[in-house]
Structure 1
């Protein structure tokens, strides 16, 4: 299937790359500010021992009672900086890959598979940055009680590195790479397909698509992303909250076996409700802010 997109001419100059990075950073900041409370609830559900919480509502109630509203934003500094960087990588590599295909095909419209490939390459590149950032964020998000093992992102990084070295920092890298590659392939292909459908239906140019529709298309893309790869995210979270000194799991297969034996298939979907609720506002904000930023600076 070929998707007809009306876009400005794609260029490979360094200025455009910097613009893509800046637009992605703005999108990433929007994603964190909108999505962090949902993500905190998701991680608590994914990583807590069986029976700790009865569901998302129970997490929210206990968070408010024990940690207040600020508890929903624990570990926010790391994603605010890190996710901004991650999303800037995602969008800039995706846009660069689109330019690569544009040159390779002589300006012919890209197919869905090519858009998937663009997103998959972006996801793979981003995985090496996302893995340590998410590991630190998850360690901070899952701290409970009066005594804190980590004082903040830098203290967390130092502690992990001191006990486990670089391997500890990159704990959960393989499932992260898989999640990012497949997930972002689906994510960007879905978004481009929705944009193409809108342009064909309305006759508008891409720069004239209203912000609320960009937000809606981004939200729908977020749904397809998480529906496609959520069980892998659960594996990753389990690995990244495992003990650093006396780990219970040797790798992803051990985690998958343990989850299935204890909770069956439903165990791979713990925390899915807050994640899917987060998908629309967080990813809608990401795409809308990216597109609107690019319109302003191009």
Structure 2
């Protein structure tokens, strides 16, 4: 299946900078919209069995014990880090699209090629996302008055000292590669469907539709890779001094032994609720920023 879309010429340095700026703005929008949902998801994924009775229970306890600001615990790290991550995702994806466009002499890219562009972007981003998410998750899951970590810098230093900063790297790379391949291919397919049989250009698509396409892409992303994210979260919330798990396979066996496939979807509801607004905002802000810059 080939999808005919307008593609800019192979990247200049100026275009790469524009892609990075657009991705950063999209990432900031993603964090501001999605952080409360993500905090609920991580609490459900990482808490011992029986701690919470679902997403609503997490919200109630969070509000009671920590107040509304509890939903934004650890936000500074993702605000800076996710901005950087999304800038890498989008800039590498855009570069790969231009690479294929140049290689194919302007012929339309296939859905497989769009998937490959996203997968390469995801793999590159995984090395940045893994430590950033590890710090964020450690801060999100801290409860009580006695804190092990006093902010993102202190957390990062202690993870480095424990040789654990990159714990969970393998599942992160798998999640990012497969997930972003699905993510970007879905978005481009929706854009192509919108433009098919019309004289419209990509820049003519209204913001609300970009938001909707981004939201749908977020759904396909998380439906495809959620169990891998659970494994990653388990590894990144494991004890640093006396770890329960030896690696991803150890987590898989433990999670499966408890409630089978159901255990791999703890926290799925807040994730899906987050997917539409967070990813809709990401794509809409990216596209609108690129229109302003170009």
Normalising by the smaller structure, the TM-score range is over 0.9
Q: Are 1:147 and 2:165 matched, yes or no? A: no
Q: Note closer, same or farther for the CA distance 1:201–1:277 as it changes in structure 2 (3 Å cut).
A: farther
Cα offsets for 1:30-81 (capped at 9, x unmatched)? 0000000000000000000000000000000000000000000000000000
Residue number among 251, 267, 279 corresponding to 1:283 in the alignment: 279
CA contact (8 A) 2:10 2:99 kept: no
Q: Are 1:213 and 2:209 matched, yes or no? A: yes
The 10-residue stretch of structure 1 (99-108 or 70-79) with the greater mean CA deviation from structure 2: 99-108
The aligned residue for residue 172 of structure 2 is 176
Cα distance, 1:202 vs structure 2: 4.0
Q: Secondary structure at the match of 1:169?
A: coil
The aligned residue for residue 98 of structure 2 is 99
Cα distance, 1:201 vs structure 2: 4.6
Cα distance, 1:139 vs structure 2: 0.1
The aligned residue for residue 80 of structure 1 is 79
Cα distance, 1:137 vs structure 2: 0.2
Cα distance, 1:11 vs structure 2: 2.9
| TM-score using structure 1 length | 0.98
The 4+ residue runs of structure 1 with deviation greater than 6 A are: none
CA RMSD of aligned residues (A): 0.7
Q: Are 1:35 and 2:34 matched, yes or no? A: yes
| TM-score using structure 2 length | 0.99
Give 5+ residue unaligned stretches, structure 2.
none
Q: Secondary structure at the match of 2:31?
A: helix
Cα distance, 1:6 vs structure 2: 2.9
Q: Are 1:265 and 2:261 matched, yes or no? A: yes
Cα offsets for 1:128-177 (capped at 9, x unmatched)? 00000000000000000111110100000111112x22xx1000000000
The aligned residue for residue 5 of structure 1 is 5
The aligned residue for residue 118 of structure 1 is 117
Distance 2:249 2:11 in 1: 41
Cα offsets for 1:228-267 (capped at 9, x unmatched)? 0000000000000001111100001110100011121110
The 10-residue stretch of structure 1 (255-264 or 168-177) with the greater mean CA deviation from structure 2: 255-264
The aligned residue for residue 192 of structure 1 is 188
Cα offsets for 1:190-223 (capped at 9, x unmatched)? 0000000000154311000000000000000000
Cα offsets for 1:90-122 (capped at 9, x unmatched)? 000000000110111111100000000000000
Distance 1:59 1:181 in 2: 30
Distance 1:262 1:201 in 2: 51
The aligned residue for residue 250 of structure 1 is 246
Give 5+ residue unaligned stretches, structure 1.
none
